[in-house]
Structures are given as C-alpha cells and as structure tokens.
Amino acid sequence: MENNFKRTKILATIGPRTNNEESIQTLIKEGANGFRLNFSHGEYSERDQQIAWIREKSEKMGRHVAILQDLQGPKIRLGKLQAPIEAAAGDEFILDYAAEGQSDNVLPVQYNLAQKVKVSEPVYIFDGKIKTIVTDIVSETAIKVRLENSGTLMSNKGINLPNTDFAGDIITEKDMRDIQYGLNKDIDFVALSFIQSPDDVRQLRKILKDGGSHARIISKIETKAAIEPEVMEEIVKESDGVMVARGDLAIEAGDFVVPVVQRKLIELCRRHCKLVIVATQMLSSMTDNPSPTRAEVSDVANAVIQGADVVMLSDETANGDYPIETVQEMRRIIMYTQTNISVENPIEKIAKPNHENRHAISRAAVNIAKQLNASAIIAETKNGSTARSIAGFRPDVKLISVTSQKHVAQQLSLRYDNRSFVRPDSDDAGYKIAEELKDDGYFGTPPATVVIVSGSQPGVAGMTNRITIRTIQ
C-alpha cells in the first residue's frame, strides 16, 4: 500500500523565490496540493504565467492541484516614503489618502482612513509593530495619529484597524478588478480578506455567480467582528471554507485568542463539512533557516491532530531561502503525526447533517470502511458534495473521488484525505478507478476491499443513494 498519502494537505504561496516553472514542479513533487496567489501585489501578466505553469506541470505529473486567489480586501498600507523614518513614542503624523508623497510629517496612505476611523481608535502600523492612536480627523482624506511606541515607518507596510467597522465595505475597487480578472481564469478558490459578517460572503457569492465563475469562497477569519460566536458559525455556513488567518487575527483581536479561535473554527468546519485552512507562520523560521523550531513543529502537528484540511505556507515559500525544504519538512511532520495519532473527537460529536441522505450515507460508508479494514472509500461525485461530506468525518482510510468535472477534481485536491480523478460519468466509474489503481499497485498486494459511494443516476448532482462493497482481485 502507498505509504506517502498525506491526509492534511499543503497550500504553498507563490512569490519571487518560487516564481518559475522549475520551482512549481518541484513543490508539487514534494507535496504541495495547491498554490496561493497573493493579489495584494503583482501584475496580471505575472498571474497568467503562474496559472499556466501550475496547470502545465500538474497535468504533466498527473496530479490535480488547486489555485487560490487571495484578495487583498481592505488591507491598508502606507504609501511610498522617501526613506524609512525612525519614529519615537509621542511623535505625531498625518496619514493622508490624497497625498502624492511624503512631506514633513504627512505620510501617504493607500486608503481613505478619514471615512472610517474615529478619534481615540487605535491604528497599528507595520503589521502591529507600531501602535498609534487617532487624535484628529484633519480633513475628508486625512487623519492625525500619535505613536504609543517607538519604531520604524517604512514604505508599503500594512495598517490594521481592529476597532474600525467597515460597514460592509469589504470588497474594494482593487478587489473588484481582481475578481473580474479571475472570472475567466482557471481559479478554484477566491479568498476574501477581513470578513466581518455573512453578508460579505453573500456579496462575493453573487458577484461570482453573475460572472459565471465556478470558484468556491474561502472566508479569511481575521477580525474581531468575525469571531463573535454567533457570527463565526454563520460565516462558516455561508462559506465553502474558511482560512484561520492567524497573523492579522492576532493583531486585530490579540495573540491570546488565536489558539481558541483556531480550534473552534476547525470544529465548526468539520461539523458543516466545510474546508478549513490554518495559515500564517506555520514554519516561519524556515524563511531564513533550513530547520524549523520545535514550537513550529508542534504547531503544525496540532493543526493535523485537530483535523485541519490544509496547512498553508506564506513567506516560507514566497520569499524564503528554503522553499522546497519547507514543503518537505511540513510533509514530514504531517506524515509522522497522522501515522502515530488520530484526529481529535469521534465523528459522532463532529458531523452534523447539511443534506440528510448524503450525510447518513457518508457516515455509514466511513463506519463500514473502518469495520472491514477497507483499503479505500471511493466517492462518485458530480459537484464534489459527496466527497466533501465523507471528508467531514475525517476517515482514517484513503478517500478517492472520481468526477467528470476537472474543476471539481482540482477543488477537492485540498480536501482532507482526498485524491481526485477525472473520468466520464458511468454506472461503474468507482469500480473502474479501483481497477486502475490496483493495476498501478496503489492498494498493495491484492485482494483489496473498497467501499464505493454513488448514485443511481450517474452525472446527476444530489442523487447519492447507495453504498457498494467490492473486492479488487
């Protein structure tokens, strides 16, 4: 039996360090199941090339790989400064959206803060390193802030507004341009930043639907508003998946909330059969060093034990000195963890029906596979719902999905435990793929038992209604 099948998947960010076809091919080979394209920066021509490389290399290697478009959202940054500014506590600066450049204590900013913030609200600069307080709304485009601690102000550094209500203004003009770009591209997921309510998800859903996109929505949880208990579950239910965006979440809500929010989000996503990605600083020390810290190893392992579908690498693969080694290390941690300890919580406490028939059949398939010590569960699926439902139970047996839709196979490549294949709709698609895999030695020495979940009307979504047990000789 194949000994390198990892249940928790790896999402790697493409950046300057890996912006070439050789690196993309190697990352796939070493265990990357998907790639994040960060739309906070970069040109569309660059994205075109990256998408082409990913699809070319994944097809050549016979592996379905997901592409995630990560929108910037209302991520605010300083503009271009003449030079870094060494600032001290008590210094005051004006942040002006209308400023074309730096002049004295006036600094350009890439968002009209004057329309959103209030006096006495905190404004964090340089990803939380510098805390300031709003002391005045100077004009329709400018605010005055006072530094609470010393630090260095630099061009294009991020600004966080943890107490600011964006009042539904989450999808920016830049985001709209980026969404329009992605509508006709081979993109599997769109990640929406700084979500505050389920309405933000609904707004993006309408835009994608009206544009004819098949992309699924990943809600990035990184604001105080989004982690309110009643809000958080509603966001999960409206989304196709969530990203625990731990970096900005720590700045917006406090470091101390992150471990608890992560655990709650993973449980909610499992309950509702939604994809969950744990992101930010998973192996951040490997940006500059060839080995991770013990704390980072524990962090990745805990995400695996909690049942995350995906762990994500950011700067580690985008800008780091050891992108390939980082993916190798993450895969090694995942494999060792899943081999030696089970995912937390029995399925009886996690899974919750979102489609009663499918849910019941999925639960039964997982239980049957476990009782029979089956080699795999095979899900025949049109739009991926059956495979997602089965994955929600976190089976400890291989999950194989077969679909006639290429984009569905790509999206399922980030699902827990799943390996996807594209084949024509038929009454015996599951059995045929089992025979193919047997011939490739996927199940080890025959015979092998497989549990096939299918529908009586192949190719029709929502018709999952049968379980078949087959022995592959």
The pLDDT value recorded for residue 388 is 94
Phi, psi angle pair for 392, to nearest 5° = -60, -25
Among 308, 338, 368, the domain boundary falls at: 338
Q: Are residues 102 and 68 in the same domain?
A: no
Whether 83 maps to a domain, the answer reads: yes
The pLDDT value recorded for residue 101 is 87
- Tokens 């951040």, residue? 284
Whether 165 maps to a domain, the answer reads: no
Residue 199 domain boundaries: 9-73+170-338
* Strand runs labelled E in 364-435: 376-380, 398-403, 418-422
The pLDDT value recorded for residue 25 is 98
The domain that contains 192 carries what CATH number? 3.20.20.60
The domain that contains 94 carries what CATH number? 2.40.33.10
The pLDDT value recorded for residue 41 is 84
The pLDDT value recorded for residue 382 is 92
Inter-residue contact 114 to 143 (CB < 8 Å): yes
Beta bridge partners of 78: 109
The pLDDT value recorded for residue 385 is 92
Whether 19 maps to a domain, the answer reads: yes
Structure tokens at 286: 């490997």
Inter-residue contact 443 to 221 (CB < 8 Å): no
What is the tally of structural domains in the chain? Answer: 3
Distance of CA 59 to the CA centre of its chain: 22
The pLDDT value recorded for residue 359 is 83
Whether 64 maps to a domain, the answer reads: yes
Whether 419 maps to a domain, the answer reads: yes
Whether 1 maps to a domain, the answer reads: no
* Strand runs labelled E in 335-437: 376-380, 398-403, 418-422
Q: Are residues 53 and 156 in the same domain?
A: no
Pick the catalytic residue from 132, 223, 280, 287: 280
Q: Are residues 81 and 69 in the same domain?
A: no
Based on the residue annotation, tell me whether 116 is a catalytic residue of this protein.
no
The pLDDT value recorded for residue 1 is 36
Structure tokens at 170: 């989450």
* Cα 149 to Cα 89, 90, 114, 142, distances in angstroms: 4, 7, 22, 21
Omega before 229 within 30 of 0, i.e. cis: no
Torsion (CA) 415, 322, 25, 411 in degrees, nearest 10: 20
Based on the residue annotation, tell me whether 77 is a catalytic residue of this protein.
yes
Omega before 447 within 30 of 0, i.e. cis: yes
Among 443, 448, 447, 451, smallest CA distance to 469 is for: 451
Residue 343 DSSP symbol = P
Whether 371 maps to a domain, the answer reads: yes
Please classify residue 308 by burial: count the beta carbons closer than 10 Å to its beta carbon, then call 0-12 exposed, 13-18 middle and 19+ buried. Answer: buried
Pick the catalytic residue from 6, 36, 271, 398: 36
Residue 103 DSSP symbol = B
Q: Write out the chain's pLDDT in tens, 473 residues.
A: 344 689 999 999 999 999 999 999 999 999 999 999 999 888 999 999 999 999 999 999 999 999 999 999 887 889 999 999 999 999 999 999 999 889 889 999 988 999 889 999 999 998 788 999 999 999 999 999 999 999 999 998 889 888 877 766 789 889 999 999 999 899 999 999 999 999 999 999 999 999 999 999 999 999 999 999 889 999 999 999 999 999 999 988 999 999 999 999 999 999 898 999 999 999 999 999 999 999 999 999 999 999 999 999 999 999 999 999 999 999 999 999 999 998 887 665 555 555 677 888 999 999 999 999 999 999 999 999 999 999 999 998 999 999 999 999 999 999 999 999 999 999 999 999 999 999 888 888 889 999 999 988 887 877 888 999 999 98
Among 126, 160, 194, the domain boundary falls at: 160
Structure tokens at 437: 């895999």
Phi, psi angle pair for 263, to nearest 5° = -60, -45
The pLDDT value recorded for residue 5 is 84
Q: Are residues 150 and 191 in the same domain?
A: no
Q: Are residues 68 and 86 in the same domain?
A: no
Q: Are residues 219 and 305 in the same domain?
A: yes
Pick the catalytic residue from 7, 17, 47, 77: 77
Pick the catalytic residue from 220, 274, 382, 388: 220
Torsion (CA) 353, 357, 362, 367 in degrees, nearest 10: 100
Based on the residue annotation, tell me whether 220 is a catalytic residue of this protein.
yes
